[in-house]
Amino acid sequence: MNKFLKTVLAPALVVLLAFVLIIGLRHYLLYYFKFLFLLILLVVVLGFWFAYWQEVRSYSTTERKS
C-alpha cells in the first residue's frame, strides 16, 4: 500500500495540483495553455514510466533474493 501511495497517488496529486493552478490562473495562462498541457502530459508520462520502472526494478530484486 505504501508503494502504491508513492507510485500512483503522488503523481496523481501533482497533476491535480497543476490543474487547480491552471484553472485558478487561466486568465493569465490562456495563451500558454497548449505549452502547459504538453508539459503536464510529459510530467504524467514520465511519472508513470518512473513508477513502472521502480516496480520492475523492485520485482527483479525480490526475485533474485528468493
d(CA 6, CA 9): 6
CB-side neighbour CA atoms (13 Å) of 27 = 1
Q: What pLDDT, on a 0 to 100 scale, did the predictor assign at position 8? A: 74
d(CA 52, CA 18): 22
Q: What pLDDT, on a 0 to 100 scale, did the predictor assign at position 63? A: 63
Q: Which residues of the chain have pLDDT under 70?
A: 1, 4-6, 26-31, 61-66
d(CA 46, CA 48): 6
**What is the amino acid identity at position 34?**
K
